[in-house]
Amino acid sequence: MTENSEREMSLVGHLSELRVRLIISIAALFVAICLSLFVAGPVLDLLTFPIHNLKREPGRDRVLTIHVAPDGTFKIPPSELAQFDPAKISHRQVNYVYFDADKKTTATLSVGEPTNQGVYARNPLAGFLIPLKVAFIVGILLALPVILYQIWLFVAPGLKPKERQLVKPLLFGAVFLFPIGAMFAFMMVSMMMKVLQHYMPPSIEPLIGIDEYLSLLTTMMVVFGVIFELPLIVALGARIGIVTPEMLARNRRIAYVVLTIAAAIITPADPFSMIVGLVPMVLLYELSIIAARPMARMRRGDSEETEAEAS
């Protein structure tokens, strides 16, 4: 058998193996998305919680309650009159409470719009598309361990034993770091919504669209999920020899400037959000330096061992 024939067979074998891993990964993603459709509703409620938790009138968080007597007279309880402050009472909603002591009946009537912020769908197909988008996001997170495991099965046969010991924990750590970064992004968006609410002029009514909100939220979750993988990426780069911990420490000031610019681009244009996004990025950079040191020592040890064998 000629050398070209062996290479051709090796290439065909790799392509066949790649096809199997891709089929399994796509099948796992499809099954995960189908299963996620059953929990798309509760997950959507969780994702939109930061919006529903917002007050339409940030400074007017109290609803005026007026008691209605059976004879038709209105009164305000003395406990509310003692703390009555028109500047803190909602202009949107009033509660009327009817109480008849003889018949022991109580009825409450809320007049006006809800005091909390709402989320709106401007696309007629939103009722069908939004659950699919949510199921796709959840499906990716559920299928991520299977996809990474298929990557490991495809890459492992071509690695040396020491390289396997390196790549395996990196893939294992990636399974946990990405969801942690996504959860951090969700918490950051929740805080951002409250801060940005105060920047809105009182004359403008915010109508938050579900498409724009989910686009912002998912983008932030994916970006910070990848950012939280930074220590693993840097550790792998130090093991290969692309970067060194000394180089990272020496260029710390430049890295901080780059991270600050990245935080300003990723987060909305307000100082609070930028600081919230910048702090974990700086901490991850310092953690990357710590993670790169043992990898650099392992690479130097391999180089010394190779030189000793050559000599």
- Cβ atoms of 105 and 99 within 8 Å: the answer is yes
Lowest mean pLDDT among 52-66, 100-114, 160-174, 252-266: 160-174
In a domain, 311, yes or no: no
Tokens of 198: 């105060």
pLDDT surpasses 80 at 305: no
Q: Work out the average pLDDT over 279-287.
A: 87
Residues 193 and 270 placed together within one structural domain of the fold: yes
- Cβ atoms of 113 and 93 within 8 Å: the answer is yes
Residue 261 to residue 219: CA distance in whole angstroms: 18
Instruction: Specify the pTM.
Output: 0.71
pLDDT surpasses 50 at 169: yes
Residues 238 and 161 placed together within one structural domain of the fold: yes
Q: For residue 225, how far is the Cα from the chain centroid?
A: 7
Q: Tens digits of per-residue pLDDT, 139-152?
A: 888 888 888 888 87
In a domain, 193, yes or no: yes
Residue 245 to residue 255: CA distance in whole angstroms: 13
**What's the pLDDT at 6?**
46
Residues 224 and 285 placed together within one structural domain of the fold: yes
213's CB contacts (< 8 A; 6+ apart) are: 48, 51, 119
- Cβ atoms of 278 and 258 within 8 Å: the answer is no
In a domain, 213, yes or no: yes
Q: Which of 112, 130, 156 is the last residue of a domain?
A: 112
**What's the pLDDT at 9?**
44
The residue length of the chain stands at 311
Q: Which residues pair with 65 in a beta bridge?
A: 95
Residues 213 and 150 placed together within one structural domain of the fold: yes
List b or e across 46-59, with b for residues whose CB sees 16 or more CB atoms inside 10 angstroms.
ebbebbeebebbee
Q: Which of 112, 140, 157 is the last residue of a domain?
A: 112
Give the confidence band of 32 by pLDDT, cuts at 50, 70, 90.
Answer: very high
Residues 34 and 104 placed together within one structural domain of the fold: no
Residue 205 to residue 127: CA distance in whole angstroms: 24
Report the candidate in 206, 195, 47, 203 with the shortest Cα–Cα distance to residue 117.
Answer: 206
In a domain, 171, yes or no: yes
**What's the pLDDT at 1?**
47
Q: Tens digits of per-residue pLDDT, 75-134?
A: 777 777 777 777 778 778 888 888 777 767 788 878 877 777 878 888 888 878 888 888
SS3 124: coil
Four-CA torsion 108, 113, 116, 119, nearest 10 degrees:
130
Tokens of 236: 């792998």
Residues 257 and 221 placed together within one structural domain of the fold: yes
Q: Work out the average pLDDT over 215-241.
A: 82
Give the confidence band of 269 by pLDDT, cuts at 50, 70, 90.
Answer: low
**What's the pLDDT at 26?**
92
Average pLDDT, the chain: 79
Residue 148 to residue 227: CA distance in whole angstroms: 17
- Cβ atoms of 21 and 157 within 8 Å: the answer is no
Residues 220 and 264 placed together within one structural domain of the fold: yes
Tokens of 234: 């840097």
Residues 89 and 129 placed together within one structural domain of the fold: no
Report the candidate in 92, 102, 110 with the shortest Cα–Cα distance to residue 69.
Answer: 102
In a domain, 35, yes or no: yes
Residues 81 and 175 placed together within one structural domain of the fold: no
pLDDT surpasses 90 at 27: yes
Residues 92 and 214 placed together within one structural domain of the fold: no
In a domain, 153, yes or no: yes
- Give residue 250's domain range: 3-51+119-306
Q: How many domains does the chain have?
A: 2
Q: Which residues pair with 98 in a beta bridge?
A: 68, 107
In a domain, 218, yes or no: yes
In a domain, 96, yes or no: yes
Higher pLDDT, 34 or 301: 34
pLDDT surpasses 60 at 8: no
Q: Write out the DSSP string of 257-271.
A: HHHHHHHHHHS-SSH
Residues 37 and 155 placed together within one structural domain of the fold: yes
pLDDT surpasses 70 at 291: yes
Q: Work out the average pLDDT over 6-11.
A: 53
Residues 252 and 192 placed together within one structural domain of the fold: yes
Q: Which amino acid is at 245?
A: P
Q: Work out the average pLDDT over 273-289.
A: 84
- Cβ atoms of 55 and 117 within 8 Å: the answer is yes
Q: Which of 67, 94, 112 is the last residue of a domain?
A: 112
